[in-house]
Amino acid sequence: MKYNNRYRIDTTRLPSWDYGANAPYFVTICTKNREKFFGKIINNSVRLSPIGKIAQKYWLEIPKHFPFVKLDKFIIMPNHIHGIIIINKNVETQYFVSPKNTNDPNVKTQNIAGTNVKTQNIAGTNVETQNIASLQKNKFGPQSQNLASIVRGFKSGVKSYTTKNNLEFAWQPRYYDHIIRDYESLERIRKYIQLNPNRWLDDEYQL
């Protein structure tokens, strides 16, 4: 299964978009030279290495450092991470509600709201297919509160841990992002993340 008929999630940063604005973002973060620092795939299941477990731990701790962030589905693959990060600086606004927990231990899911509430669009009405592409360009404070700073903080945490513990590890400098514009796209990306281990042999990130 490909996402939008491509294995690679290209960078789609929009010059006019404020990446500190409230929205769900799909990010892909790779290791340097796509080295398999995070573990291996066995029987379509991810077996995390010690570094992979640290990456998972630090990913789950992102909201502790950025309280306006909620996490949706994510997966730690052998040499990359796929995850959905929701920036929501207005606690009254609920964009989407995560699906029910799956039985797949490799896929992590968190409920955005923490309770079983109805999906709401940004105006507060109960519409599941709200397109957020029409959001006006918003300013929500300093650059320390945007997507780049969130990813940078996560990567820095993992790198600092490996350096202090004399573990060989390095990140690829860039990361890939995609603004999730509606509920259908969200569901499609969740499925893409969930099925990632099953596609490992054909994965573009596989070397």
Q: Which CATH number do you get for residue 83?
A: 3.30.70.1290
Compute the residue count for the chain.
207
Q: Which amino acid is at 171?
A: W
- The per-residue pLDDT for 194 is 94
86, part of any domain: yes
91, part of any domain: yes
Tell me the per-residue pLDDT of 109-152, one tens digit each, with 9 for 90 and over.
444 333 222 333 323 323 333 344 434 343 434 456 899 999 99
The whole-number average pLDDT for the span 160-176 is 95
Cα 94 to Cα 34: distance, rounded to the nearest angstrom: 35
Tell me the per-residue pLDDT of 15-49, one tens digit each, with 9 for 90 and over.
667 888 889 999 999 999 999 999 999 999 999 99
Structural domains in the chain (count): 1
Structural domain boundaries enclosing 44: 23-202
Cα 163 to Cα 184: distance, rounded to the nearest angstrom: 40
Question: Residue 135 has what DSSP assignment?
Answer: P
Are the C-beta atoms of 162 and 51 separated by less than 8 Å?
yes
